[in-house]
Amino acid sequence: MFARVKVLCEGQTEERFITDILQPYFQSQNIYLQPIVIETSRGLKKKRGGIGNYKQIKEQLQILCKDKDAYITTMIDYYGLPSETPGCHVSNQPSLYERVKFIEQAVENDLRADNLKVYLSLHEFESLLFSDLSKFSLIANPRQCKALVKIVDDFCNPEHINNSYDTAPSRRLKNVLPEYAKNLDGITLAKEIGLHAMLNSCPHFKEWIDTISTSARVSKR
């Protein structure tokens, strides 16, 4: 019998990442991940992907958390997080990891669901791709690969690649690789890089993966 994990995620790329890369890893642990792309509008013309405000996150998590037989989590970008998200304006912790954990905990406190673990990607999905730049040779020329290496050299790990409109990981990639297509190239690179390299390079991401492994099995009992 599988433990069920529902993952509220930000877009189609994250959906594919969960299905194609995370699900095979967890399958051996008898844990089944179900990605659910956030709805940004409802009615006759439903739209999926992207986040406009915190209310969208909260309402959909409230619905998911009613399934007490499932473990609920998220894969939402820290970059571009709605400003009204709990904890965003009172988080003055000195380190990046302390800040993001403070906000994650504030959202969990707001939802008050015992089957919920909030995860915010630092700073977004593209950070994971900086875990092994050698794989970029699949889509980049040597000059572009060298420029990507220089980006990583400025930070202690990919999760620290900074958070602003011009310097977020996806913007840096597009600056070097204007032809980069997230939903196609992002997943191709992620498969080549592999989960092991991402876990070694991205501590906050690894902590989330380890938490799912432990907590989903506990919630199954």
- The residues facing 76 across adjacent strands are 120
Alpha helices, DSSP H, located in the chain: 12-17, 23-27, 54-64, 96-111, 126-129, 142-153, 169-176, 187-193, 195-201, 203-220
Rounded-to-integer distance, Cα 198 and Cα 205, Å: 8
pLDDT tens digits, residue range 21-35? 999 999 999 999 999
pLDDT in tens, 93-109: 789 999 999 999 999 99
pTM: 0.92
Q: Phi, psi (5° rounding) for residue 184?
A: -100, -60
